[in-house]
Amino acid sequence: MNLTNLPISISDEVQSALKDNLPIVALESTIISHGMSYPFNVRLSEEVEKIIRHHGAVPATIAIINGVIKIGLSEEEVEFIATDRSVKKTSKREIPLLLANKGCGSTTVSATIFCAALIGIKVFVTGGIGGVHKDAQYTFDISSDLTELSNYNIAVICAGAKSILDIGLTLEKLETLSVPVIGYKTDEFPAFYSRESGFGVDINAESVEKVAMIMKYKWDLGINGGIVVGCPIPRQDEIPAEEMAGYIKKAVKEAEKESIKGKYLTPFMLQEIHTHTRGKSIDANISLIKNNALIGSKIAIKYCELTATKCIV
Ligand code: PSU
Ligand code: MN
């Protein structure tokens, strides 16, 4: 695809990584604008980028600013996304609308996958993916994250999916979409704050090499689409599933009472949970994202080594 006439701006750091075939790790920005409050969001974004650089990869945080897709944000741009209330949560379908309006948006998993794939980034680190919401048989609320996971060749490193979702149905949907689900050193798909969900994965990868090999075989074979890599939250920061279940029930009730629907539901639920757990969930959230950044960097480096001369397509 010819990107020259499109409003896309790639930072110098990411551009030179592309030129030199260095491993790049994409990062979403809805976590920053809608997933966590200020100043935790800015601090986390800085720390995650630092972890990625420290392990030898290049971070590429993605957002839309004044109608331009930005790949690789400056500190000022992260601060803007973190604090400005006009920044809209943006999924893939909304990208052209924002560009036409010269608007500002934070990219969800679906939009970040799309933007990262535009320049051939193969690894994307996030906290949790969106999925099939509880009661989706009535609401039809299924995140477009799942659709876009099936559309682009990228590995999404996450701590599973929050149990505000129906995790069983989310995994079924991923199967329908032909997206393989890898557990990183686990047999179970993780449930974000908790290490276990009660649902299995397609394979337990015991090393980053194994994950990189799966990526390479899949795409070399021409089996297009993404891969989910579920990394359990570090044990010391886990919140037990039984404890989370109570908070989630309360948040679901509150959302129903206030008739929160569509794209507003996930941010609302996250805010409710943060309030109810009195910050404990923020510590867990920070811990799991840092852990994903560490593992994601290593996967990006390994994949680059495996594909040797050509790690960016
Ligand atoms: N899940 C989380 N934290 C988040 C999100 C999901 O644990 O911040 C965000 C991500 O950006 C994800 C989006 O792509 O919410 C999904 O929103 P929806 O369910 O409206 O598709
Ligand atoms: Mn939704």
Which atom number of ligand 1 is nearest to the Cα of residue 130? 16
Q: Check residue 124 and give its pLDDT.
A: 99
Mean pLDDT, the chain, whole residue set: 95
pLDDT(242) > 70: yes
Q: Check residue 310 and give its pLDDT.
A: 52
CA–CA distances in Å: residue 192 to residues 82, 105, 124, 131, 167: 22, 25, 17, 13, 11
**Ligand at shortest distance from the CA of 262:** 2
Instruction: Give the range among 82-96, 200-214, 259-273 with minimum mean pLDDT.
Output: 259-273
pLDDT in tens, 146-170: 999 999 999 999 999 988 999 999 9
**Which two three-digit tokens encode residue 255?**
């959302």
pLDDT in tens, 119-134: 999 999 999 999 999 9
> What torsion do the CA atoms of 145, 227, 270, 245 make, to the nearest 10 degrees?
120
**Which of 27, 29, 31, 94 best tests ligand 1's pocket when mutated (most atoms within 8 Å of CB)?**
31
Q: Check residue 309 and give its pLDDT.
A: 58
Q: Check residue 4 and give its pLDDT.
A: 87
pLDDT in tens, 57-98: 999 999 999 999 999 999 999 999 999 999 999 999 999 999
Report which DSSP code applies to 238.
-
Q: What distance in angstroms lies between residue 82's CA and the mean position of ligand 2's atoms?
A: 22
Q: Identify whether the C-beta of residue 58 lies closer than 8 Å to the C-beta of residue 17.
A: yes
pLDDT(312) > 70: no
Q: Identify whether the C-beta of residue 258 lies closer than 8 Å to the C-beta of residue 126.
A: no
pLDDT(2) > 90: no
Q: How far apart are CA 285 and CA 307, in angstroms?
A: 32
**Ligand at shortest distance from the CA of 139:** 2
Q: Which residues of 228-257 are buried (b: 16+ CB within 10 A; e: fewer)?
A: bbbbbbeeebbbebeebeebbeebbebbee
Ligand 1 neighbours, Cβ below 6 Å, are: 28, 30-31, 35, 108-109, 127-128, 130, 143-145, 162, 192, 263, 266, 270
pLDDT band for position 216 (50/70/90)?
very high
Q: How far apart are CA 218 and CA 220, in angstroms?
A: 6
Taken in order 7, 49, 194, 179, the sign of the CA dihedral is positive
Q: How far apart are CA 188 and CA 193, in angstroms?
A: 14
Give the three-state DSSP class for 73. coil
For the question of whether the overall pTM of this predicted structure is more than 0.85, the answer is: yes
